[in-house]
Chain A
Amino acid sequence: DVAGRLTPVLLDGLREESLQLVSKLKDSSSSCAVDVSTMWWEAAGSRGLCVVTACESSVSLWKPLASDRWGKVYTWQLGEIPVIQIVPLPDTCNLVCIALGDLEIGEIRLLLYSSENDAFKQSLVKTGNIKAVLGLKDRRLVSSSRTMQEQQVEIVSLSETGRSKDGQTLMPPEETVLAFAEVEGMRDALVGTTAVNSIVVWNLKTGQLLKKMHVGYSYPASICHRAYSDSGLLFVVLSHPHAKESESCGNPAFRVIAFNPKTARSVGVMFSSLPPGHAGRYLEGDVKDASAVAVLTSGAVAVWDLLLGRCTALLPPDPEGSWALARWATTSACLLAGQQDGTVCLYRY
Chain B
Amino acid sequence: CSESDLGPISLNWFEELSAEAPS
A265 vs B8: C-alpha distance in the bound complex, in angstroms?
10
Q: Chain A interface: which size bin?
A: 20 to 34
A189-B6 in contact given A208-B22, A233-B1, A267-B1 (Cβ < 8 Å): no
A33 vs B23: C-alpha distance in the bound complex, in angstroms?
43
A265 vs B5: C-alpha distance in the bound complex, in angstroms?
8
Question: Which B residues are CB-close (under 8 A) to A206?
Answer: 18, 23
Give the segment of A157-165, A241-249, A256-264, A285-293 that binds chain B. Answer: A256-264
A189 vs B1: C-alpha distance in the bound complex, in angstroms?
22
A-B contact count (CB 8 A): 63
Q: Give, as a whole number of angstroms, the nearest-CB distance from A179 to chain B.
A: 20
Q: List 20 A-B contacts (CB under 8 A).
A: A189-B14, A203-B14, A208-B18, A208-B21, A208-B22, A208-B23, A209-B21, A210-B18, A233-B9, A258-B1, A260-B7, A260-B9, A260-B13, A262-B10, A262-B17, A263-B7, A263-B8, A265-B5, A266-B6, A269-B1
Q: Give, as a whole number of angstroms, the nearest-CB distance from A307 to chain B.
A: 15
Contact A232 B5 (CB under 8 A): no
A349 vs B23: C-alpha distance in the bound complex, in angstroms?
45
- Point out the residue from B5, B13, B23 that lies within 8 Å of A267, measured CB to CB: B5
Contact B9 A232 (CB under 8 A): yes
Question: Which A residues are CB-close (under 8 A) to B1?
Answer: 233, 258, 267, 269
Q: Give, as a whole number of angstroms, the nearest-CB distance from B13 to chain A.
A: 5
Contact B22 A210 (CB under 8 A): no
A342 vs B6: C-alpha distance in the bound complex, in angstroms?
46
Question: Which B residues are CB-close (under 8 A) to A261?
Answer: 13-14, 17
Q: Give, as a whole number of angstroms, the nearest-CB distance from A172 to chain B.
A: 13
A261 vs B14: C-alpha distance in the bound complex, in angstroms?
8
